[in-house]
A and B are shown apart, each in its own frame.
Chain A
Amino acid sequence: MPTPVLDQIAIEFAEKNHLTGVVFKGKGNFKETYRATIREGEFIALKILDPQKCSLARSQRENQTMLKCDTPLIAKLYDHGSFSANNGQSYYFCIEEYLDGGSLAERISSGALNSNIIRQYAITLIEALDYLKNMDLVHRDIKPENIMFRSSSNVPVLVDLGLARDLSESSLTPTWLPQGPGTPYYSAPEQLNNEKHLINWRTDQFSLGITIGICLTGVHPFSKTGMTQGDTVTAVANRGSCTSAFTIEASDLGFGFVVKMLHPWPHRRYQSPAELLDEARR
């Protein structure tokens, strides 16, 4: 478990907002996640963003759109905003539905997945992408850690929409990082190369393809023996193809459609969630 650095800020926020029982749950590139108690037995996920690493104005604008999402496929965002801490710094916070069934990353590690379950997850997650597309949103950070489950449920839920981009907004600020936001290991080439005009739901399709690929085979679909994570990311950024080993294995398992999801150019991936769903259900 990584070490929290914003824990005092989370506690301070909780005290000011009548929350108790703050427990550190995880850490991403830009933020830390805590579980907090509203009242006995009822929890929320509290996310504190590091102001040194992200744009508060941008987060605020994008989360405003996320508040409109109303589907069980996506963790509900209850509130968001900024607050001034006692250290004089301004921090951005998100309060989301707390999902206590663990993450897909944990299920992959436990080795509990078989191809039937993976297919069910894939179908549900494609439906989630369809929902986001209809909202004109791109998640931009789909990965096993951002796919959670409600307690004793087998239905995956997309979380952490903090990087989501509202495509209907024309006044987006430049990106946060040279390679664009997102987790590089799961990112599409257009994200890694920061090609903003190419980013849309098909970018999420690619990340979901990587996620499904890892569920199926345990390795990144672009990774060959001896490659580091950095080498793999470079291969994706250079618009390579997924490995022939992965192509064969995915096909043998009845997941040949994932190879198309992973095409380096968006126009050669599936062009609509409906088309992708049809393939996934076959």
Chain B
Amino acid sequence: MTAYLQMGHDTENLVGEQDLDAFGGIVLSPVNREPAALTRHVQSFRRRGDFDIVIDPQLYFPGSRRGKLPNQPYYPDDLDTADFSSNGWWTDVVTRLGDFAGTLGVDAVASPVVHPRTWNDDYFARCARTSSSLTRYLHGSGIRVLTTVMVDIDYTVDKEALLRMASILSGGDNSGYYLVIVTDVDPRREISDEEELVGIMSLVRELENTGRPVLVSHCSSDMILFKAAGASHCASGKFFNLRRYTASRFGEPADGGGQVSYWFEHGLLAFLRSADVLRILGSEFSNLLGTLSSNNCWASQILDNFRLDSPLAWVALGWKQYLSWFCKTEQTLGSGNSEELVREWLRTANDNWRNLDDNDILFDEARNDGRWIRRWRQALTKLPDS
């Protein structure tokens, strides 16, 4: 039970950083780094701590956003034109990816998948076969294979399709699952469709109940829901999760840009901009800031910064404050009755939002009003038992 740091643009310096030590794993991002740099980073991470290092081959990235991917030794030149029903094509990718994973010296590799045109049994059967094939190829190497489960959240709403998917995926050989959730929700906004949340949480639960761990990738604050559903591990990183208010992830600047600072507040389960943090600080609800793990060394530095005559930009502090909350909270949820704990947190957040609203404390972002909290609570109530 450990949180994974999802690498992105220029993220390596966060590994082993103060108050981020509850991250026990790292997911490498070949889109962002050349092969030689990935190798160097793995060696560097080994020196910094005992991390479980996973490579996600990221072949599901859209053509316009592949970055360094074409330079990776497993990258197929015909990725955009290939016949994905060809066993030979996949065997070649598996072989080259397996060799690269060995060269890198990672602990685990997520099986390669592409973004399908349609989500159906054939697609998931291909995912299971590819994973089995990679498992066979890496047998004896000590490298674990995680079956990449890339799925549109909307597809999981159909219970029958979900159960069939879990049966198909669990028929393959693997050491666990790497879940990549596809959704139309803006990356900086919370998923708030109840049925979709119930579906994706049910999938996590079904897969976990096969006895193999699920690592949910690219999480945000929704991590608490996946943990409540039983996910062994969740991953998050700095860019994807903090700049929530953009139209789409792949419409963002390639360098990971975005200079708006956010504070993550556990008491509201929300990201707050500078003005909102100051608004709460100046209100009778100032003790609401810094609840549980959102109170960390980075939170203290942010608050100290606000006390300066000319506060500095605190984007990087915000990433670290959020990531510190993420890894510690993930750890907390791995050690007890996570479902009940999450229900309690959601009840508290619901009350806090109501108090703010009753006192006309409204945030800069019109949609940042905590209305997803109720949907999350409803989704948890509807989540079928184990």
Contact = CB atoms under 8 A, between A and B. Distances in A.
B318 to A, nearest CB: 40
B136 to A, nearest CB: 10
Given A195-B164, A271-B211, A266 B124 contact: no
Interface in A245-282: 265-268, 271, 275
A265 B206 CA distance: 11
Contact of B167 (A170, A198, A275): A198
Contact of A265 (B87, B163, B212): B163
B121 A267 contact: no
A202 interface: yes
A170 B171 contact: no
B122 A266 contact: no
Interface string B14-28: 000000000000000
A200 interface: yes
B170 A197 contact: no
Interface string B188-217: 000000000000000000110111100000
B362 interface: no
A258 to B, nearest CB: 19
B125 interface: yes
A265 B166 contact: yes
B168 interface: yes
Nearest to B170: A267
A188 to B, nearest CB: 11
Given A265-B167, A266-B170, A267-B170, A170 B211 contact: no
Given A200-B171, A202-B171, A267 B166 contact: yes
B150 to A, nearest CB: 17
Given A267-B210, A271-B210, A170 B170 contact: no
A174 to B, nearest CB: 14
A266 B211 contact: no
A60 B380 CA distance: 52
Contacts of B170: 266-267, 271
A198 B167 CA distance: 6
A275 B164 CA distance: 22
Contacts of B207: 267
Contacts of A267: 163, 166-167, 169-171, 206-207, 209-210
Contacts of B164: 195, 197-198, 265
B166 A197 contact: no
Contacts of B210: 267, 271
In terms of DSSP, what is the predominant structure of the interface of chain B? helix
Contact of B168 (A170, A198, A268, A271): A198
A197 B168 contact: yes
Interface in A161-216: 170, 190, 195, 197-198, 200, 202
A197 B167 CA distance: 9
Contacts of A265: 163-164, 166-167
Interface in B166-185: 166-171
A170 B212 CA distance: 26
Contacts of B167: 190, 198, 265-267
A38 to B, nearest CB: 39
Contacts of A170: 87
Interface in B120-177: 121-122, 124-125, 163-164, 166-171
Interface in B200-240: 206-207, 209-212
B171 A198 contact: yes
Contacts of A271: 170, 210-212
Contacts of A202: 171
| Residue from A195, A197, A266, A275 whose CB has the most chain B CB atoms within 10 Å | A197
B211 A275 contact: yes
Contacts of B209: 267-268
A275 B211 CA distance: 10
A143 to B, nearest CB: 22
A205 to B, nearest CB: 12
Contacts of A197: 121-122, 124-125, 164, 168, 171
What 10 A-B pairs come out closest when comparing CB atoms? A197-B125, A267-B170, A266-B167, A267-B167, A267-B166, A200-B171, A197-B121, A197-B168, A198-B167, A265-B163
Given A198-B167, A271-B170, 10 more contacts: A195-B164, A197-B121, A197-B124, A197-B164, A197-B171, A267-B206, A267-B210, A268-B206, A271-B210, A271-B212
Interface of B: 87, 121-122, 124-125, 163-164, 166-171, 206-207, 209-212
20 contacts: A170-B87, A190-B167, A195-B121, A197-B122, A197-B124, A197-B125, A198-B171, A200-B171, A202-B171, A265-B167, A266-B167, A267-B163, A267-B166, A267-B170, A267-B171, A267-B207, A268-B209, A271-B170, A271-B210, A275-B211
Interface of A: 170, 190, 195, 197-198, 200, 202, 265-268, 271, 275
